[in-house]
């Protein structure tokens, strides 16, 4: 685990949050929690990049069509496969609009098309609805594009890893790459970072438990189910090569570290990119934290570099 100092701008952001006496997400009605999450991007996010087009569309989901948004950079790099992006937000807060600016930056750096999926959200549609939507959208991407990569941030990183396991175990065409940004990968909350950064780092351990309850554990899903806790899978052999990006001051940091360590030990190429001074959710704090802005601008390039290997 890193002991690097918290980025000063991240510290200032956390101090503003603390001074505002922000209520815990668990105390808010779902609609209000979603509204506040959307406001975060508007207040703390950066402006979108030039040179990226966006097209709203529908794609197949697990229980009917789902909304999606296709991003294309005007300056495409080579023949990049489509990157299916699964947004974060605790499986319940995020949507196409909260992740519009990050997806534009990812597409610009990646140099290829990025498809953001509006999967079904908890608590209205708990586990495994979001995963089934991701599975159907991925099948569409492979059918129409020939090959696809998959990625996501936070809860979307969880869905990315679970989708890779599901596809492998069902002997379906695998993604050419998996890209996980500060993912949640173990509902048992193993890992020292869960205790070292349990409070005061924007995402708190209480939030992690609440999101898990709304999505799965409150609906009878075992924390040992690999499709909820991919790190509980017996083996990770046969999964796609991975790029894993983490923040040093994040209760989920060790999830990403353990994923890379296990993939590497089991013969899967994997690379860890750590931003030691940053906190969970930094993709949405780019207008206030210069290091977060630099990390987002580099993210698509990091993924594209690994996909191209």
Known catalytic residues? 154, 250, 280
Q: Which residues contact 100 (CB under 8 A, 6 or more apart)?
A: 41, 48, 54, 69, 116
Instruction: Specify whether the CB–CB gap between 103 and 69 falls below 8 A.
Output: yes
Place of tokens 């908890």: 122
CA 204 to each of CA 51, 126, 198, 200, 241: distance values in angstroms, whole numbers, following the listed order: 36, 21, 5, 7, 30
Over the range 7-34, which residues count as b (16 or more CB within 10 Å of their CB) and which as e? Answer: bebbeebbeeeeeeeeeebeeeeeeebb
Residue that the structure tokens 């704090």 belong to: 285
């Amino acid at each position: 685990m890193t002991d690097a100092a918290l980025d000063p701008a991240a510290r200032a952001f956390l101090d503003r949050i603390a001074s505002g006496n922000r209520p815990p997400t668990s105390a808010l009605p779902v609609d209000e929690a979603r509204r506040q999450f959307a406001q975060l991007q508007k207040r703390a996010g950066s402006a979108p990049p030039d040179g990226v087009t966006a097209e709203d569309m529908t794609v197949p989901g697990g229980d009917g069509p789902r909304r999606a948004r296709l991003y294309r950079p005007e300056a495409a790099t080579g023949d990049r496969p489509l990157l299916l992006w699964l947004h974060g937000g605790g499986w319940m807060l995020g949507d196409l609009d909260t992740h519009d600016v990050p997806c534009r930056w990812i597409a610009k750096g990646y140099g290829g098309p990025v498809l953001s999926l509006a999967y079904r959200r908890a608590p209205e549609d708990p586990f495994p609805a979001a995963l089934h939507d991701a599975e159907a959208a991925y099948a569409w991407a492979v059918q129409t594009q020939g090959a696809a990569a998959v990625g996501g941030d936070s809860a979307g990183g969880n869905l990315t890893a679970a989708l890779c396991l599901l596809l492998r175990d069902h002997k379906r065409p695998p993604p050419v790459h998996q890209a996980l940004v500060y993912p949640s990968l173990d509902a048992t909350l193993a890992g020292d970072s869960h205790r070292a950064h349990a409070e005061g780092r924007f995402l708190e351990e209480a939030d992690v438990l609440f999101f898990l309850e709304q999505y799965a554990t409150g609906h009878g899903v075992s924390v040992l189910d690999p499709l909820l806790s991919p790190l509980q899978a017996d083996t990770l052999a046969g999964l796609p090569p991975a790029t894993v990006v983490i923040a040093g001051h994040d209760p989920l940091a060790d999830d990403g570290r353990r994923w890379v360590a296990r993939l590497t030990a089991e013969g899967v190429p994997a690379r860890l990119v750590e931003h030691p001074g940053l906190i969970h959710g930094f993709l949405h704090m780019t207008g206030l934290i210069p290091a977060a802005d630099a990390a987002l601008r580099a993210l698509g390039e990091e993924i594209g570099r690994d996909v191209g290997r």
